[in-house]
Structure 1
């Protein structure tokens, strides 16, 4: 037999069944061979035992392009140490071959040798072990038949053109069918296919339109495009309000069971109890708005106390008092004083009171307030300071919810307590409560506590302003009953034959879950910050708001085709899903879900795919519980939330809620056009890296306690150092804690190669002298007092800031002579002003008066405290002339 590998070259089989048949019949043949690294040795394996008498004359190698006639110079049997390995021989050739295909055959074998003729030759390559980027798998020699594609008119895009195209095609393939009558079944099918084609063509155009931010029309598409550049298209957020709940009994209720409803014409008549939702079922929901307590835990208790309905200010026996603008502390009346004849508490008793305020001495009186840090109080003016009479004041004392019609509704303010300290008036034994709140909640206006009423009574009016307790933070929206969105389908792969008589295992996969849209408008709200100041608790960033939607999945037998619960996959369990804005940061096991809002304010859920977020289990049902109420509809006015509703009616308890302050924060969804306009530039709005000194100053100024920052780049002899100066709110010099905090924050943005130094601003004390001529009709002392207040470092009686207040001067603010003269000339009684001195303290004049300005450096702040205890902080003096 000659060397010939082309016997079966035209036959390409994927399943080599004959190989198994040869092994079973104990007939020998060549199985495969391996080429050594030097390409001089070929290890040839057999289907059976290697023949012992085989030599160089029994092996022939043919083929090749450049290297032909490869000679066999030696044949050796392989040493066998493992009985499981196939028998083989090692064939040594005289030289390596080229990159073409060679053929190794067994020749000159005895006629009785049991060798199968199909396995006498092997095709191989000497370069099989050479590195290659190509797949060694050979292409199949039996490709699928390619049918000619029909001629398609790609300009056909609507119903009429599709109908004509189909009829033209049918005329070519079915020339015998010539029916064109409309009722014909063939024409009906043609028109049906044309309609489907028209719909698919529209869908194709719509997909192309939604592929770009500039052309997208659907809200969901614009939202996803904007998210790619880190811009969030917000869906608005709900409103929040402070609700003061008047109560007839001391009672503790669960937050999830209590709601507040705005007053409306068809509201049920008040009863001697707290109603449930039954009286509201016959009233359309669009006639009223619902607010619910906003707490970290829905099962959290809300303690209501009668003593907190109205709390009085304590004036220590003084009269005609007021809390000034900017106040952050007050003294409250806590209960009743001791009975007449009982001695006031001595020092030992007061010390015992401070150690155990819950068990006061007998002579102290009775305490009724139960306030703690974190509680919210509302200061409210209930009497008209100029119009209320003594009878009005008596009525206000008798009724907890009374307020005079002439009381200013703008004089209401909420504060969150930061400190609560019980005390006692040593003169009267009256129990007191000293309360404080943070600077963010400082009073924006003065609150009158007591005053003289109108003539002719001219009576002393007390409790002009009072404090409301039992304050609950509530937000807009009402929870709806649970909805069933249906089952998560499963998708089985089509069975695939992996061998003759054996199919591959069919994997159970989660199918595409589609559900009916969830009707809205869904409530969107931001996470609650329990410790935020009261003045900031009503404000929300709509870009951070997430929908109020409770999503739960659980395996259910109803999702199986025949309802057999035994077919449910093992390991399925109920899961609660967390609402997130997107799945970009979700892991494969995170139970996150996104609620996307369409143009009709309906929500659609999007779960993960197993890589970005967990996919819901197949055969599970999805249940959702939604909250309805969002946007500006919740921005109700003051004193409109007047109805309390409980999950179950409560007899004997009377609740009188009211919101002294209007609800705020309700924001409408962001228009798509606005997002399309702002999104391309959103990534450049917030500075994320400091490169030049101005970048350091801008990042430092983001801190809420920093009024302004300045920076400069200096060479310190070895490398560059960025020096950042800080001007803090309400302080002349920033404290060390603030500087350390800003240094830590700036280190995240620092440029490589820059050292960083954060320091307080350089204070420049000034020495200013003015000569003031006072009008003859004014007292010099009064005018001088007004000038000192105007050019002082404190706050003015009207709430303004003094000229040299720490918050009025900042980096690089030059002191202009003209502005000083204008500020002095604006004081009533000043006839003329002359600036006698304008210079830096202890440095002498440097031409400031002639130039009309005292220059301040970029890291410097002017200062003139005029404090005799600290003369080094600058001064301003007045030489008063004229007047009386």
Structure 2
């Protein structure tokens, strides 16, 4: 019987005995002095010195696929008596050969002094030839073949798995598989069948979640659509402006502190509760809606509770729509740039009754300039009456959306009473957003691994750790531990998503609903690994995070529950086992925060000076989370959205996404070393482009432009025009009425019905050919007009550019027509009417 053993210790046993045997065979190949002698000499090393024993050609037998002839056998080599030199007539081939020590040519048995186990050895003549394989042979014991069992791969439930396992056990271990329900073997099979049934369900569920049209989990849909670079909309919370009325000034204890810190809670009315009370989350949860301040409130002033307008001794006054400045009565040195103030109608302008006031006549504005002192640093006064006044200017984006009535006179039925003030200005205003903070929720600890891969089946099994084949042939492979996933779930929902609130933002922008990719989860996470407490930062996804980043992403399921997913040491750091996590997050989202005005009533801070809390504006800007149906509907068509700028049309399409841009014209110019795209924006509803708008548009194009293509935003050149129409009026038509109708149509303003006047800035485009025919057609369609013709149609003050002959005017790429028809500024374009006839 032949044994295959990793530890060959027979030679040591023979070395210490009277027997001898073969130790190893050496083929003289590369070290041969004469190249013709390569692989013709074999050095047979014996375990012990043979002494007086001499071996000849009759005692050596070499067997192989190709026969080799032994020429001579010599005892001893260079003083080594245990070496037998065998000379061959020719070398052997690439096959294995066996060298045997025999008694004689007629007796194949080993000589009496040779150990039968070490009487033969297998060798190769080509041992020194280059090879890509390991020289050490595999010494693992062979596994006997197991009996074949038919495996039903369609088994997917408990009964089919149980039947298949019992069939298998009947063949593999007949004595073990009895099939009796009370037997231990049957109980084990039942448990394994149940486990297999659960795994099959998970596999089927995973297969279902792998397709967009079949996935039931919102998290699966988010990950699938991420492959299309689609960002799932997680919604946004609502916002409004809150006003605090105080009985006395509330000043901070230290300059760096705030009387109402960021994150202070305000809520709707709670029965039997004072206006201010110490924060209690359980009590706040009983209210209909909880809001929290978005910024610190540095101080509160009683003089800012209600500030009246200064009318300069006039009566029945109002601030016109679009106003950006006003004068307040009184000396208000604590009003400063960057504060919000609210303009509010407090009584009905026609009746003087507070119940008749318009609740929608409220607007919050951002102050950008306050003037309470004159050049001599004395309080500002009215030079006629000597009354103290304060002048304020607010941001252009917060221009009044409606006229603000300051003083009025009631109707005759109400007695012609003079009413002042009708509207007032309120300070102590701060932006608040929907959501209640949940403090320090324990999320548990990152678990330790309890499962492992089968030996050699882990992710690291194929990596070379510097262990040679000789060291690992008989060593058992170490199992690689499987790191369990740690995905804690937040106890409360829905998790709040809100935009980043920057200081100095106009009030109109603060209430605007942000884009889906501009909202972020309101959550703070700390991990305690036993040595130190480290913060983890929320990110939209983990793909852009490196292996050392302490980040996580919040994944929202369709039931609004939120779970946290950490990195895997490739995209984000994996938490160490035993790390304890605590979370501080906010709850509240979507249109559930859209409360009406004057609904907030309590402040969750012990501040007795606060005597009134209410929201000046209604809750706005909230957006619900994107549903599974909406994700399936929108995500597959994301590729149709323009996301690169190559052609001029691309720049035009992408430029229109900017809010204030009506149209964009582009030109490619080679500037010496590269190509520059010159974009010329045409703003909506206005004339002129500010430097901030140019910077904004340039930044907008940055993520769409081609590499090595620069983008420059140009300023349009406005060309004033002179247009004069001669109109024949019907004899029975009123000339003044016809003129009024024509001036309404040919107006640079928006008409009462919402239509644009023909001379409105939005009617003209850069480089546009301005035709005369549409103007004449519009004039002739007016009731009472018999005929109309143009007597002047040219650029302002330039008779050479008359377009009467060609009935059109041409403009350059950067030129935009302009007809303001302002008598005070005729250089900005003039439109005249020459009416004939009528009455």
- TM tier, smaller: 0.7 to 0.9
CA change 1:500–1:767 in 2 (3 A) is closer
* Structure 1 equivalent of residue 441 of structure 2: 483
305, 310, 321: which is aligned to 1:309? 305
401, 405, 411: which is aligned to 2:361? 411
Instruction: Describe the superposition over 1:416-459 as per-residue Cα deviations: whole angstroms up to 9, x where unpaired.
Output: 22223334235144443333233322211111222223336434
Deviation of 1:496 (Å): 9.3
CA change 1:277–1:655 in 2 (3 A) is same
CA change 1:103–1:256 in 2 (3 A) is farther
* Structure 2 equivalent of residue 446 of structure 1: 403
For 2:638, what is the secondary structure of its paired residue? helix
Q: State TM-score, norm by structure 2.
A: 0.75
* Structure 1 equivalent of residue 627 of structure 2: 671
Q: Which runs of 5+ in 1 are unaligned?
A: 1-6, 52-56, 78-92, 107-111, 336-366, 393-403, 557-571
* Structure 2 equivalent of residue 435 of structure 1: 392
Deviation of 1:247 (Å): 1.6
Deviation of 1:242 (Å): 1.0
Instruction: Describe the superposition over 1:635-670 as per-residue Cα deviations: whole angstroms up to 9, x where unpaired.
Output: 111111122222xx44x4333111121101222221
Determine if the alignment matches structure 1 residue 835 to structure 2 residue 789.
Answer: yes
314, 323, 335: which is aligned to 1:370? 335
470, 481, 499: which is aligned to 1:526? 499
Moved more, 118-127 or 210-219: 118-127
> Aligned residues, how many?
777
For 2:265, what is the secondary structure of its paired residue? strand
Deviation of 1:600 (Å): 2.4
* Structure 1 equivalent of residue 514 of structure 2: 540
Whole-Å separation in 1 of the counterparts to 2:14 and 2:166: 59
CA change 1:555–1:711 in 2 (3 A) is closer
Whole-Å separation in 1 of the counterparts to 2:226 and 2:704: 24
Report if the CA contact (8 A) 2:239-2:619 is conserved: yes
CA change 1:215–1:590 in 2 (3 A) is same
Deviation of 1:592 (Å): 0.7
Whole-Å separation in 2 of the counterparts to 1:615 and 1:198: 31
Moved more, 784-793 or 516-525: 784-793
For 2:328, what is the secondary structure of its paired residue? strand
CA change 1:288–1:704 in 2 (3 A) is closer
Instruction: Describe the superposition over 1:295-334 as per-residue Cα deviations: whole angstroms up to 9, x where unpaired.
Output: 3xxxx45422211211222233333222222222222234
For 1:694, what is the secondary structure of its paired residue? helix
Determine if the alignment matches structure 1 residue 700 to structure 2 residue 659.
Answer: no
Report if the CA contact (8 A) 2:138-2:473 is conserved: no
For 1:405, what is the secondary structure of its paired residue? helix
For 1:226, what is the secondary structure of its paired residue? helix
Whole-Å separation in 1 of the counterparts to 2:321 and 2:100: 107
1:79-118 equivalence runs, <5 A = none
Report if the CA contact (8 A) 1:236-1:542 is conserved: yes
CA change 1:707–1:487 in 2 (3 A) is same
239, 254, 265: which is aligned to 1:259? 265
827, 831, 839: which is aligned to 1:876? 831
For 1:536, what is the secondary structure of its paired residue? helix
Alignment RMSD? 5.7
* Structure 2 equivalent of residue 561 of structure 1: none
Whole-Å separation in 2 of the counterparts to 1:531 and 1:34: 90
Whole-Å separation in 2 of the counterparts to 1:555 and 1:331: 59
Determine if the alignment matches structure 1 residue 594 to structure 2 residue 553.
Answer: yes
Deviation of 1:99 (Å): 7.3
Whole-Å separation in 2 of the counterparts to 1:67 and 1:723: 88
Deviation of 1:548 (Å): 2.4
Deviation of 1:803 (Å): 3.4
CA change 1:160–1:406 in 2 (3 A) is same
* Structure 1 equivalent of residue 775 of structure 2: 820
* Structure 2 equivalent of residue 691 of structure 1: 646
Instruction: Describe the superposition over 1:590-637 as per-residue Cα deviations: whole angstroms up to 9, x where unpaired.
Output: 111122222322222211111111111212222223322222211111
* Structure 1 equivalent of residue 419 of structure 2: 461
Determine if the alignment matches structure 1 residue 726 to structure 2 residue 685.
Answer: no
Deviation of 1:379 (Å): 1.4
For 2:355, what is the secondary structure of its paired residue? coil
Whole-Å separation in 2 of the counterparts to 1:120 and 1:250: 106
Whole-Å separation in 1 of the counterparts to 2:765 and 2:219: 46
Whole-Å separation in 1 of the counterparts to 2:648 and 2:729: 48
Report if the CA contact (8 A) 1:510-1:615 is conserved: no
For 1:675, what is the secondary structure of its paired residue? helix
CA change 1:121–1:275 in 2 (3 A) is same
CA change 1:774–1:758 in 2 (3 A) is same
CA change 1:717–1:596 in 2 (3 A) is closer
1:134-145 equivalence runs, <5 A = 142-145=141-144
Whole-Å separation in 1 of the counterparts to 2:759 and 2:90: 99
For 1:307, what is the secondary structure of its paired residue? helix
CA change 1:721–1:491 in 2 (3 A) is closer
CA change 1:749–1:18 in 2 (3 A) is farther
Report if the CA contact (8 A) 1:768-1:838 is conserved: yes
CA change 1:700–1:195 in 2 (3 A) is same
* Structure 1 equivalent of residue 665 of structure 2: 710
Whole-Å separation in 2 of the counterparts to 1:490 and 1:588: 20
Determine if the alignment matches structure 1 residue 552 to structure 2 residue 516.
Answer: no
Deviation of 1:23 (Å): 13
Report if the CA contact (8 A) 1:382-1:466 is conserved: yes
1:310-389 equivalence runs, <5 A = 310-335=306-331, 367-372=332-337, 374-388=338-352
Q: State TM-score, norm by structure 1.
A: 0.72
Report if the CA contact (8 A) 2:726-2:791 is conserved: no
Instruction: Describe the superposition over 1:779-809 as per-residue Cα deviations: whole angstroms up to 9, x where unpaired.
Output: 9789768855763546779998653333342
Deviation of 1:714 (Å): 7.9
CA change 1:739–1:574 in 2 (3 A) is closer
Whole-Å separation in 2 of the counterparts to 1:71 and 1:381: 125
Q: Which runs of 5+ in 2 are unaligned?
A: 50-55, 78-87, 102-112, 253-258, 374-379, 457-470
Whole-Å separation in 2 of the counterparts to 1:376 and 1:792: 35
